[in-house]
Amino acid sequence: MNRRLLPIGIQTFRKIREGDFYYVDKTGFALRLIAEGTHYFLSRPRRFGKSLFLDTLAELFAGNQALFRGLAAESRWDWSRRYPVIRLSFGGGVVRQPGELDAKIREQLSLNQEVLGIRCEQPTLAGCFAELIRKAHAASGERAVVLVDEYDKPILDNITNPEMARVMRDGLRNLYSVIKDSDAHIRFAFLTGVSKFSKVSLFSGLNNLFDLTVSARYSAICGYTEADLDQVFAPELEGLDRGQIRAWYNGYNWLGEAVYNPFDLLLLFRERQFRPWWFETGTPTFLVDVLTQQGFFTPLLAHLRADEALLSAFDVDRLAPEALLWQTGYLTFTRSRQIGARWEYSLGYPNLEVSAALNDSLAKAFIGEPGRASELASRLYDILVAADFEALRQHVASLFAAIPHHWHDGNDLARFEGFYASVFYSHLAALGLDLVPEDASHHGRLDLRLRFNGQIWLFEFKVVELAPEGAALPQIKARGYADKYRAEGLPIHLIGIEFSRGRRSLVGFEVETLDPGPVAPGSKLTSRAD
């Protein structure tokens, strides 16, 4: 099969179709949307192909048949009808002031007037928008198509400044309310962005939008499926381990078919290296700040539960970490169930890229010095390879000694085991190893389970007042946390770790190895700080 060009960063349908680029046909989804309704909203993480899909809709309604040769839409669309397309995009630049938002909207309206050959007379922005829709319908004889890309970006640009974010939200709400009021002149409307703001806060005047975000039938509307890899990108797969590709980049799911992040795959095919390509393009500094400042128990990130109301209540005044993590793509649906009148969702990391990279950022935030955090992570890996428990004890002591005192002083979680479990979990998870927090058995929940290098490591944390109590290791044994792993015939390391609330340091470290073979180096270690 012939290799083609990789459309890295290209969001223009025409450019892809007129060039020798790979293209995953999403026109079937477009046809289904148009047949089933008229007003839609879609939330997807950044760099998932939202802008390209919007551009595809624009070309379809504009009747540019030549671009659709060989695609699903070619034989199923009435090319004799051309609709006036009005496009608004807030993706470019950063908007920090109300005047800048007004200027951005005015610029967008002016560009559309120029393209459609229409001149608006109304002085207000909302009035001009409504006039543009009306006149586009009158001039063409066809109702207008309204497409809005990055509808939420002016708000997200100011999310750390709630007062300004509210101003942006209100300005956009005034603009978007025109879409409902102009319903008689609109054939189709589609709004897309990263965040799913609550309908009450942003779309109170636009309650006729159908939200596609968690529709199982449209889970793959953006992103690449397994079939897409086989049918479209087969020439690029040679020399790459398919299981590794799946583990690193697949797993994003909106209650239907799971998809790959397109940006990741395209960079993988070009560079032939497994790296956190998507994560590196936008380290979530604000998200990390929210999680650390709120004392979020980071082991929960691997298996979080949330209801529909919580995930839909995202707003400037209420930044629920669960909703923020899900909407930005750092967590995804792993399953759902209906409990009486409510829906409950299980959330988890979509893949190895996100779990390792997000926890690396969290570990660096906990420690405060990125360079020191990287050094500690590298050292931890070497210690685990050697199964050197004395070195591990020293490493854990160094890890918590590196945490700034203000973390202990200003974080209520620091008084509890959850703080120490969060720091150690994120530090360990940053390595991208087979790690399960809160490992459940019929005896209870173990704090952490690590499977690495042909060995199983079971960690339990305790916080004591001043002196070590020696309770962590006995708890692992008393509750039989190792029982579920004995049949595997692997060395099992039971590791009890105690921290002093008063001293803010490691005071107890006990290890016992259950080994069917020779005793592992450093096993049966007991260490207590005076």
User: Cβ of 76: how many Cβ atoms within 10 Å?
Assistant: 12
Say how far apart CA 333 and CA 348 lie, in whole Å.
Answer: 7
List of E strands, 194-317: 210-211, 304-307
pLDDT at residue 406 tops 60:
no
| Least confident segment among 55-69, 140-154, 269-283 | 269-283
Say how far apart CA 407 and CA 371 lie, in whole Å.
Answer: 18
Task: Check residue 411 and report its DSSP letter.
Answer: -
Q: pLDDT category, 409, cuts 50, 70, 90?
A: low
> Quick check: 123 and 175 in contact, CB under 8 A?
no
Coil, helix or strand at residue 484:
helix
What is the predicted pLDDT for the residue at 443? 65
Residue with tokens 């807030």: 90
Mean pLDDT rounded to a whole number for the chain:
90
Q: Tens digit of pLDDT for each residue in 369-395?
A: 889 999 999 999 999 999 999 999 999
The CATH 3.40.50 domain(s) of the chain lie at 25-218
What is the predicted pLDDT for the residue at 335? 92
Q: pLDDT category, 356, cuts 50, 70, 90?
A: very high
Q: Tens digit of pLDDT for each residue in 290-316?
A: 888 778 889 999 999 998 877 876 778
What is the predicted pLDDT for the residue at 413? 45
Say how far apart CA 427 and CA 402 lie, in whole Å.
Answer: 12
User: Nearest-CA neighbor of 55 among 103, 99, 7, 94?
Assistant: 7
Say how far apart CA 210 and CA 199 lie, in whole Å.
Answer: 11
> Quick check: 3 and 236 in contact, CB under 8 A?
yes
How are strands ordered across the β-sheet holding 455-464?
434-441, 444-452, 455-464, 492-500, 505-514, 526-528
Tell me the β-bridge partners of 188.
145
Q: pLDDT category, 526, cuts 50, 70, 90?
A: low
Q: pLDDT category, 530, cuts 50, 70, 90?
A: very low
| Per CATH, domain 25-218 is 3.30.1370 | no
- Look up residue 344 and give its amino acid: E
pTM of the predicted protein model: 0.90
List of E strands, 248-326: 304-307
Q: Which helix (H) or strand (E) holds 460?
A: strand 455-464
Q: Tens digit of pLDDT for each residue in 91-149?
A: 988 999 999 999 999 999 999 999 999 999 999 999 999 999 999 999 999 999 999 99
What is the predicted pLDDT for the residue at 198? 65
Say how far apart CA 48 and CA 280 lie, in whole Å.
Answer: 15
Q: pLDDT category, 524, cuts 50, 70, 90?
A: low
What is the predicted pLDDT for the residue at 521? 47
pLDDT at residue 523 tops 60:
no
Mean pLDDT for 25-47 is 96
Residue with tokens 């709120």: 294
Tell me the β-bridge partners of 508.
498, 528
- Look up residue 339 and give its amino acid: I
Tell me the β-bridge partners of 498.
462, 508
> Quick check: 89 and 111 in contact, CB under 8 A?
no
Q: Tens digit of pLDDT for each residue in 224-240?
A: 999 999 999 999 999 99
Say how far apart CA 95 and CA 528 lie, in whole Å.
Answer: 55
User: Nearest-CA neighbor of 84 among 169, 162, 168, 185?
Assistant: 185
Q: Which two tokens stand for residue 497?
A: 């770790």
> What DSSP assignment string belongs to 499-518?
EETTTTEEEEEEEEEE-SSS
**Maximum CA extent, the chain:** 87
Q: pLDDT category, 518, cuts 50, 70, 90?
A: very low
In this structure, the strands spanning 186-193 and 455-464 are unpaired
Q: Which two tokens stand for residue 407?
A: 């973390």
